[in-house]
């Protein structure tokens, strides 16, 4: 149990810059939670540009491709389009 808690804390620390950037970019309905050793980050970005900036930041922070984050950032639907 202690090991799992440390892993969650280390994931949160590893991706703190991403979480902070999402908050600063006003990602709505932002949820950050750990499940089975993976950090899940979900929310609605105000624009495609914001979504891409967060994706680029994630790729920089996870340059080794560890796969310890699932990021589901969407953008608002407009004109009946699904994003």
**Residue 4's pLDDT is what?**
54
Residue 8, pLDDT > 80, answer no
Please tell me the pTM assigned to this model: 0.80
19-59 tens-digit pLDDT: 999 999 999 999 999 888 899 999 999 999 999 999 999 99
In tens, the pLDDT along 54-73 reads 999 999 998 888 889 999 99
The answer to whether the CB of 51 falls within 8 A of the CB of 44 is: no
In a domain, residue 79? The reply is no
Q: Is residue 40 part of a domain?
A: yes
Confirm whether 69 is domain-assigned. Answer: yes
Identify the band that residue 2 occupies on the pLDDT scale cut at 50, 70 and 90: low
Name the burial class of residue 15, with classes exposed (0-12), middle (13-18) and buried (19+) by CB atoms within 10 angstroms of its CB. buried
The number of folded domains in the chain is 1
Q: Domain of residue 65: give its range.
A: 2-74
CATH of the domain at 15: 3.30.70.1770
């Amino acid at each position: 149990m202690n090991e799992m808690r440390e892993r969650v804390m280390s994931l949160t620390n590893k991706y703190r810059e991403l979480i902070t950037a999402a908050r600063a970019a006003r990602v709505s309905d932002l949820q950050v939670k750990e499940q089975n050793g993976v950090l899940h980050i979900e929310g609605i970005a105000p624009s495609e540009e914001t979504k891409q900036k967060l994706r680029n930041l994630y790729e920089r922070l996870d340059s080794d491709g560890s796969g310890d984050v699932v990021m589901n950032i969407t953008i608002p639907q407009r004109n009946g389009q699904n994003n």
